[in-house]
Structure formats: structure tokens, C-alpha cells
Amino acid sequence: MGFLRKLSIRSQLLMLAAFTVIVILLIIFYSYSVMSGMITRNHEQYVKQTVSEIRKNVTSNRDVIQRLMQDIAYNEDVQSFLSDSGGNADFEMIQRLSRLLSNEKELKEGILDIVLSGNQGSWLDLSGANYYVDPLKADLPAKANAYYVGMRTFGTLFSSQPQMIFATSIYYVKQGDMFNRNIGTLFFILNPKALAGEQDYQQRQTNTEIYLLDREGGIITSNTELDPGSKLPEFAKIDQSGSNEMIEWNKETYVMDKEQVPDIDGTILSMAPKNELLRELVDIRREELVMLGIGLIVLAIPFTFIINNILRPLRKMVFFMTSVKRGELPKFKKRLSLRGYLEINIMAAEFNSMLDEIERLTQSLLETNAALYGTEIEKRKSELAFLRSQINPHFLYNTLESITGMAVVKGQAEIKTMTRSLSTIFRYSIKGADRVPLREEIRIVESYVSIQRIRFEDRFEVRYEVSEEAASFPVPRMILQPLVENAVYHGFEPTIRPGALTIGADVDEAGTLIVRVEDDGVGMPPDRLEAIRARLAEPLADLLDTGEKKSIGLVNVGNRIRMMYGDASGLRIESVPGEGTRVVLTISERRDKEHA
């Protein structure tokens, strides 16, 4: 076992765990193999024994029926009765025939009726079954001898259950003109149990279902609740015998065995539910769980020693290292002390040495950072002084107002409109609350549009479709102007034809604000549209780092909306080349309190 010392502790523990699992799996597989084999053999033996018993009973009872039918068919009175074409049978002959049929019926339990049906129209029965069997004569094979006809119901004569019918063709045996001529048919009506016998072949342990079937797959008798005469599915009509076939029936898997019964041209079918076949393994599983529990208890002893001798010092060391990693200053003053194997002591000494080095480097780093912070403070002071030297915004407002006054004096209405609109936009963009009602954004857009309409010489018109509820909806400041600017520069600037710009806003039933900025400008090709949609999904900082300047306004608006209201809000862009572009902005949350 010397090679184990070359492996890590983790590897040794994994090997031990793997070995334990392998041993347990071997035990389970062996137990399952032995028990499943035993159960399968017991089931096969039981089925073979039961099927053999049923087949012997069918053969024996069919031979008895054949002998009885031969005794009746070749009786002198029966020959005379069926060969008489004039219907001159006297009363005494009818009595003798009735006694004959009654005596033969008593010789075999389960015979319900015996019918003599002549080809000349004469007939005789004991219980009135001739009416039901006479039409069957046309379907009998030539020279039928104890031939199994099938299952039929007989109204109210016997019971509502179908009964079995056997038939024998009767030939004239006396020398003469009628010798060997077919003169009639003998029918036996039997209870199905008279053929299979009264033996007990119940389902027992495996719930095995056993059926005696006729040539059409109809049930003659079975150990189930299915009525005699009912049909099984197509799998019951397979001609050849077979064993251990797997079939699906009634949403369950069965193991099916089949045995041919030539005496009635039928089949003995046995089906055992696959799950029931292995039902006995439940007890085996319970015993294996007990064995597994005992095994784990035994294995816990060596694991306890391993934990005490190896893992506990390691856990203590890991806990100490984690405390140091979290930056708990008192831990930097302490040192690790462990008792264990030589390797553990070496690791503790090396770790303590590392802490000493970290403490020295930390002190040096603090001194360096103090010097850097001083430099940074001076830099900030310089920047502040620079900012204070910049032009005062009020100076810009006053200058724009002066230009406006001069434009009025000089009669320059367009210059007056542009400077006043620009003053309004400038003042709005840097003063006021972070969120404003949408109507304030609309007002700034109107100022912006007035400038652009002068610039484009009224080449486009603007329509506002804003509901009253949407106008009072609070939105971030300067969120709408970039969308209008994008529509003007990318929708109308590349073309000289007149256009229309529509700005609409509504609040849906869920309380979501939906703002639409639509233009009928040049639109954009699909690849350009997909590129813009991809940039909308990226953070604005990533685009700035790469130097990408196109659609920065849209990206900025989209990022602001997602950051403030979550991923359920944002921008959606649709465009068709030559038809225009539509930008939809959604905000799914009101923030009236923050606005207030």
C-alpha cells in the first residue's frame, strides 16, 4: 500500500468512496440477478405445469365427446330416423331416441343439449337448441368429426353466456343405395368448463392470466373476469407457439407464452405482468437496505479516524486562511498553530512566514497609497478650479435672450424662433427634476421641431397624438428628444421629398406607457436595422470604448430606460426601406412618488 502515500488526501478519499460504491453495487447486482432468475424459473415452471394440465383436459374431454358422438351417430335408430325421407318415425322410435340422447348426455357432465338434424328435414333435440344450430350445417367442413364449431349464445335456453358447439357429420352405414351418404349432423352444446375441466389455475403469486382461446381468438375459458366468447386483441391470433414475448396491453407490459391446442384448433395463452413478475424483489430490496446501513456504519469507523487525524487540522487551517482573506485585521496579528502530521506542521510554518511577509508589504503599500492620495487630491483641486473658470450657464441664457431681442428689432422672425427654442432646450436640459411629466418632454420636442422645420424649410409636418393620461405620466428628463432627432436626421435629411412625423403616446390597461415616434422617411435596410438592434442590447459604455458613434442617442435612451425600470421596459425599432421607421418606447412602471 506504499503507493497510496504518493497520492493526495483527496485522491485517497475518492478511491475509498469509489471502492465502497463498487462493493455495494456488486452486492445489489448479484442479489437482483439471483432473485430475478429464481422468480423467472418459478414462473415458467408454473405456467408450463398449468398449460400442460389444461391441454391434457382438453384432449381427454374432446376424446370423450368424440366417442359419445360416434355412439349416437352409428346407432341403428339414429340411422333409420335420419334416413327416413317420409317422416314416418313412430312414437316409440322418438322415445327410444330421446332416451338415447338423455343417457349419452348424462355420461359427460357439462353437456347442455344434443341435437340430431337430418338432411331430409327431420330433427330431434332435448332442450330446443336445434333452432340455433341448424343454420350452422352449411359452414361445416366435409366429414366433420367432433369438430369444434365455435361459441354461440342460445337466447334464454341455458344462460346469457356463450356455449361451445361440437358437430359430427353422420353417414349411412348400411349396405345399399344410401351407403356412405351424408344423412345429417349431430350437434353437442357444452358448457366451456366441460372442455377445460374444473381444475384450479388461479392467478396465485404473479397474477398470471391464462386463456383457452378458439381459432378466432375468442375466449373459451380463463382465470380472469373476461366473459367467455369475448375477443382478445390481434396478438392472440398468432399461429405459431411462442414463449417470453413482450407485448403492450391496457397500458401495461406483459410476458406472453402461447401453446397450440390442435384438438380444437385453439391456443392456450398465458400472460404475466412484467412488474408483478418481480414483485418478490421488494423484500430483497428491503434486506439490501439493511445490509447497506450496516455497511455504512462499519465504514464510518475508518472515516472517523481519517477526519480526526487529517481533515480536522486542514479544516482549522482553511478557516484561518478564510478569515485572513476576508481582511479581519486581528487575524494578521495572530499566527497559525496546528498539531498533526509532519506535512501539516510544515504548511502551518510556511503560512505563518507568508503572513509576516504580507504584513510587511501591506505597511509599504499603505505608505505608497498615502502619497498617491495626496497627489490625487491636488489633481482634483486643479480640475475644480478649471471648472469654476468655465462660462456661467446664466451668461449663455442671457446671451441667447439678447440675440432674440435683436432678432425682434431687426424683424428676423426665424432667428428669434430658433434662439428662443434653443434657449428653452438648453435651460430644460440642465435644470429641474430628474423625472418630469411627458407633457414637459413634448414641450421641449416642440421647441426642437420648430428649429428643425426652419432648417429643413418646412419639408416635414408633425402630428401629436398624446392622450391626457399619457401626458401626465412621469418619464426621465430628455428621453424623447433623441428619438425625434434620430427620426429627423435619418428619416428626412437623406431625401428631398416632403414627410410627416407622428409622435403618439398612450397608457394601456396594464398601466404601461407606450410612446411612438414614426416617420415616413427613407427607412433603413434589414442589415442596418439588425445592427442597431444589436447595439441596443449592448451597454453604452462598451460602444464608447470601441469608438462607435452611430445611434449613440438611441443606445443611451435604451440603456437609461432599462437601468431605471428593468428589462421589461426599453426600445423597439421597426423599419421598412422607402416607407419609414417606427421607434416604440415602453415604460412599465409609474414613479410618481419619485417625481414628486
* Predicted confidence (pLDDT) per residue in 546-564, tens digit: 545 555 778 888 888 888 8
**Cβ neighbour number for residue 270 with a 10 Å cutoff:** 25
3-state secondary structure of 586: strand
- Tens digits of per-residue pLDDT, 414-436? 776 777 777 777 677 666 677 89
Q: Quote the crossing angle between the two packed helices 413-430 and 393-410, to the nearest 10°.
A: 160
Q: What is the model's pLDDT at position 260?
A: 83
Question: Is the pLDDT at 529 greater than 50, yes or no?
Answer: yes
Q: Is the predicted pLDDT of residue 595 greater than 50, yes or no?
A: no
Closest Cα to residue 334, out of 352, 349, 319, 318? Answer: 352
Question: 56-67, pLDDT tens digit by residue?
Answer: 888 888 899 999
Q: Render pLDDT for 432-489 as a digit per residue (tens, 0 to 9).
A: 677 899 999 999 899 889 888 888 888 889 999 999 999 999 999 888 988 999 999 8
Report the sign of the C-alpha dihedral through residues 48, 51, 57, 62, in that order: negative
Is the per-residue pLDDT at 502 higher than 90?
Answer: yes
Mean pLDDT, the chain, integer: 78
Split at pLDDT 50, 70, 90, the class of 384 is: very low
For position 394, what pLDDT does the model report?
Answer: 46
Q: Which three-class secondary structure state does DSSP give residue 86?
A: coil
Q: Which amino acid makes up residue 240?
A: Q
Query: Cα 561–562–568 angle (5° rounding)?
Result: 105
Q: By mean pLDDT, which of 109-113, 239-243, 273-277, 532-536 is the weakest?
A: 239-243
Residue 390 in this model has a pLDDT that exceeds 50: no
Measure the CA–CA gap between 454 and 103, rounded to whole angstroms.
Answer: 126
CA–CA dist 227, 229 (Å, integer): 6
CB 536 within 8 A of CB 573: yes
Question: Lowest-pLDDT range, 6-20, 142-156, 162-176?
Answer: 6-20
SS3 call for 375? helix
Three-class SS of 309-367:
HHHHHHHHHHHHHHHHHCCCHHHHHCCCCCCCCHHHHHHHHHHHHHHHHHHHHHHHHHH
Task: Copy the grid coordinates of residue 366.
Answer: 499603505
Q: Which domains does the chain have, with CATH numbers?
A: 1-279 (3.30.450.220), 461-595 (3.30.565.10)
Contact predicate 518/582, CB 8 Å: yes
> pLDDT at position 483, please?
92
- The distance from CA 479 to its chain's CA centroid, rounded to whole angstroms, is 45
Cα separation, 108 vs 191, in Å, equals 11
Q: What is the Cα–Cα distance from 43 to 208, expressed in whole angstroms?
A: 9
What is the mean pLDDT of the segment spanning 494-515? 92
Per-residue pLDDT at 204 exceeds 70: no
* DSSP at 495: -
DSSP string, 429-492: HHSS-SEEEHHHHHHHHHHHHHHHHHHTTS-EEEEEEE-HHHHTSEEETTSSHHHHHHHIIIII
Top pLDDT among 270 and 38 is at: 270
**For position 203, what pLDDT does the model report?**
46
Highest mean pLDDT among 72-81, 210-219, 339-348: 72-81
Mean pLDDT across 354-360:
76
More confident residue, 188 or 232: 188
Q: Give bridge partners of residue 151 from the DSSP assignment.
A: 164
Q: Cell numbers 411612438 correspond to what residue?
A: 516
C-beta separation of 64 from 274 below 8 A: no
Q: Which of 4-13, 47-56, 279-288, 324-333 has the lowest mean pLDDT?
A: 324-333
Rounded to an integer, what distance in angstroms lies between the CA atom of residue 468 and that of residue 487? 24
The predicted model gives 221-227 an average pLDDT of 80
Residue 530: pLDDT over 80: yes
Listed range (65-74, 358-367, 388-397, 449-458) with the worst mean pLDDT: 388-397
pLDDT at 47: 75
Given this model, what pLDDT does residue 585 score?
94
List of long-range contacts for 35-39, beta carbons under 8 Å, 24+ apart: 35/280, 35/281, 35/284, 36/278, 36/281, 39/206, 39/277, 39/278, 39/280, 39/281
Residues 6+ apart with CB under 8 A from 522: 490, 491, 494, 495, 577, 578, 580
CB 136 within 8 A of CB 149: yes
pLDDT of residue 328: 57
Contacts 24+ apart (CB under 8 A), 545-552: 551/486
User: Angle at Cα 310 formed by Cα 338 and Cα 315, nearest 5°?
Assistant: 65
Q: What is the mean predicted confidence (pLDDT) over 492-502?
A: 90
Q: Contact 441/523 with Cβ under 8 angstroms?
A: no
Please state whether beta strands 209-213 and 219-222 pair in parallel, antiparallel, or not at all (unpaired). Answer: antiparallel
Q: Which of 352-356, 569-573, 588-592 has the lowest mean pLDDT?
A: 588-592
Cell 503507493, residue located: 3
pLDDT in the model for residue 206: 55
Amino acid 143: pLDDT? 84
Q: Which cell numbers in the block locate residue 581?
A: 421607421
Give the model confidence (pLDDT) of 289-323 as tens digits: 788 778 778 877 877 776 676 777 777 777 777 77
